Chain A
């Protein structure tokens, strides 16, 4: 009896959490009938993919997807490189100024990022790289979350492995590349997934720093199209589904990395 009650609660909450997605999907698959009506039109007319063809052919959605892919790919790759470099000495090397650097990095967690929006806009304007993809990803490459996550991973590698390599005459570069990096692959995967979601979903910074709507990533582009084609709800619904499906698929295949990342201290 108790079990039934628990499942009932679980299902009710699952409906609450996923209903907006299911409803958007339904709207995008229908071509006729009122979208807004009381009572709502929940299971009528034949389903069709016409809206998907429409959104693909008439709106610059493929272009936004390419932009997103490009920004996300470069952004994630550079984040992995920069964070895996920075975390290594913080975890495994002894050098003067180590604590200072470490606390300086921690202190950035307390700094308010909204000031960054204003000043970074000015900085990038002065550097004349506004309206480029580089301006979109540059400010978020040195991820503090990434540095901490990878530092933790490096710390958990046994000292003996490193000592053995040193006895064999390996230098720091070799040790980092051949021994350390392969051993922190799970943490790298976690970071890659978090950054993927962050870049794929970002819209605030892109709309600030990109002047040409043609360069918008998908999330920003979708918002822009909603403004232009407010009346064409079905096309926008199809676009919304297209923007959401990749991220849900990635999530479903990589769930355990998400849970690990958050509980490892994913605040940013």
Chain B
């Protein structure tokens, strides 16, 4: 190796790190540091104003007998029920729009609009839709599905499902695009061959299309499960956890503890528990999709 060669290598290395510096600096402060500091903070009581006080694992013990923790974790777990509904819905939607038809692009765009709408807007609109005298009650009453209007957002058992429905409405378009990419990667011959053999459309869908979509279904289901466990925005803009904590989820509890009560330590303990649950899914996601199948990165 001659001198100019090694000189160039040093220069290249310098330039590389110069280019990377702003991004790495920001990631270090706002992404890596929070995970380390947040985990440590779960062992302290801390309200920002007074210095942190070490309390060991006591906040995790407290959490085990905390009624609201169990309510929140149960609601977050229940929220995962939305995953299969969204996935099946968006697969069917993708199959529906995966064809050459006049105006099909306009339909795809229409289905995607909820995705790009902000949660406050969605929350405001759906609070009106769900009103006691709102359009949903009207439609259901005219169809004679219900005899009296239901107060969708202040009902002790139905509210959580009413919010899940909004999550589904807003998410369908996003997953549709993922599945559309999946469907377009399947050679048409497979489905045509099955049709030639006399299989019905439903059979082709379940026995040919769905298996071929498997990597996409896995990816989308994992993403969707993690999102459901972390559900926050839709709850915050519609019920803030009510009525009577019936829609109180883990993230909602963390938010209240951290930013309403300023119990940063206890909020961190809650966050660590939620992170541990989610980590299981993200490790699977990571391992599966780094190993090929999908061109994910």
Contacts and interface: CB of A to CB of B under 8 A. Distances in A.
A131 B26 CA distance: 19
Contacts of B122: 20
Contacts of B12: 93-95, 172
Contacts of B272: 115
Contact of B117 (A19, A37, A125, A247): A247
A263 interface: yes
Nearest to B118: A201
Contact of B173 (A17, A27, A125): A17
A148 interface: yes
A27 B104 CA distance: 29
Interface stretch (A46-54, A156-164, A182-190, A216-224): A216-224
Interface residues of A, number: 93
A223 B31 contact: no
B125 A23 contact: yes
A85 B9 CA distance: 19
Nearest to A42: B135
Contacts of B64: none
Interface in B83-127: 93, 96-97, 99, 101, 104-105, 107, 109-114, 116-126
Contact of B31 (A21, A34, A108): A108
A203 B119 contact: yes
Given A6-B96, A109-B282, A122-B48, A82 B15 contact: no
Contacts of A83: 23
A30 B112 CA distance: 27
Contacts of A236: 124
Contact of B30 (A23, A116, A265): A116
B109 A38 contact: no
A108 B41 CA distance: 20
Given A110-B286, A248-B116, A105 B141 contact: no
A66 interface: no
B68 interface: no
Contacts of B236: 204
A265 B232 CA distance: 23
Contacts of A121: 258-259
Interface of B: 9, 11-13, 15-17, 19-20, 22-24, 26-27, 29-35, 37-39, 41, 48, 93, 96-97, 99, 101, 104-105, 107, 109-114, 116-126, 128-129, 131-135, 137-138, 141-142, 149, 169, 172-174, 177-178, 181, 223, 230, 232-233, 236-237, 251, 254-255, 258-259, 264, 267-268, 271-272, 274-275, 278-279, 282-283, 286, 295-297
